[in-house]
Structure 1
Amino acid sequence: MIIITQLLVLILVILSTLLVVGIPVTLALPGQWEQSKNLVYTGAGIWAGLVIITGVVNSFVI
């Protein structure tokens, strides 16, 4: 169970890094927001789901 938690945290860190870099770049480029809006919302939804899933899995570790 600890390995699953560590993998979830690793995926969460990688996705967070991608979102921290990707969202400002998307907002800074002219006209990119309309094209990338769904991708940004999907990424944010996946991130929120990973936070919840990681918390639930972590509650079973100890």
Structure 2
Amino acid sequence: MVLLVQLLVLLLVILSIILVVGIPVTLASPGQWEKSRNLVYTSIGLWVGLVIVTGIINSFIV
């Protein structure tokens, strides 16, 4: 169970780094927002889901 939480946290950190770099680049590039808006929203939804799932699974560890 601890290994699962560690993997979820690793995925969360990797996705966070990608979003911290990717979203400002997307917003600063002319015309890119319209092309990649769905990808940005999907990535943010995945990040929120990972935070919630990691918190729930972490609550089972004593």
Q: TM-score range by the shorter chain?
A: over 0.9
TM-score under structure 1 length normalisation? 0.99
Q: Distance in 2 between matches of 1:51 and 1:29?
A: 28
1:9-20 superposed matches below 5 A? 9-20=9-20
Letter in 1 for 2:10: L
- The CA RMSD measured in Å over matched residues stands at 0.3
- Does 1:8 pair with 2:8? yes
Say whether residues 1:32 and 2:62 are aligned partners: no
Structure 1 distance, partners of 2:61, 2:9, is: 13
* TM-score, length of structure 2 as denominator length: 0.99
Q: State the distance in 2 between where 1:56 and 1:37 align.
A: 29
Structure 1 residue runs without a partner (length 5+): none
Q: Which residue of 1 aligns with 2:52?
A: 52
In 1, the alpha carbon distance for the partners of 2:11 and 2:61 equals 18
State percent identity of aligned pairs: 69
